[in-house]
Amino acid sequence: MTIFEKVIFKFLNLQINNVYNKNFKKYGESHESVFWNSQFNQFKRYEEILELLIQKEGIKKKIEVSDVGCGYGTLYKLLNKENKFKNISYSGIDINKKFIDFCQNKYVKELFCCTSFPPKMIDYCLMSGTYNLTKIKNVNLWENYVYKNLVQCSKKVKKGLIFNLQFSKKAKIHNNIFYCDPVKIRRLFADDFYVYSRMSSILKNDIIFVLHKKIN
pLDDT band at 87 (very low <50, low <70, confident <90, very high): very high
Residue 154 · residue 193 · CB < 8 Å:
yes
Q: Is the pLDDT of residue 41 over 70?
A: yes
Q: What are the structural domains, with CATH classification, of the chain?
A: 3-213 (3.40.50.150)
Q: Where are the alpha helices (DSSP H) in 66-216?
A: 74-81, 97-106, 139-154, 182-189
pTM for the full predicted model? 0.96
CA atoms within 13 A on the CB side of 19: 15
> What element of type H or E holds 84?
none
> What element of type H or E holds 59?
none
**Gap between the Cα atoms of 189 and 104, Å rounded:** 33
Reported as a single tens digit per residue, the pLDDT across 157-213 is 999 999 999 999 999 999 999 999 999 999 999 999 999 999 998 888 999 999 999
**Gap between the Cα atoms of 25 and 33, Å rounded:** 8
Reported as a single tens digit per residue, the pLDDT across 199-214 is 998 888 999 999 999 9
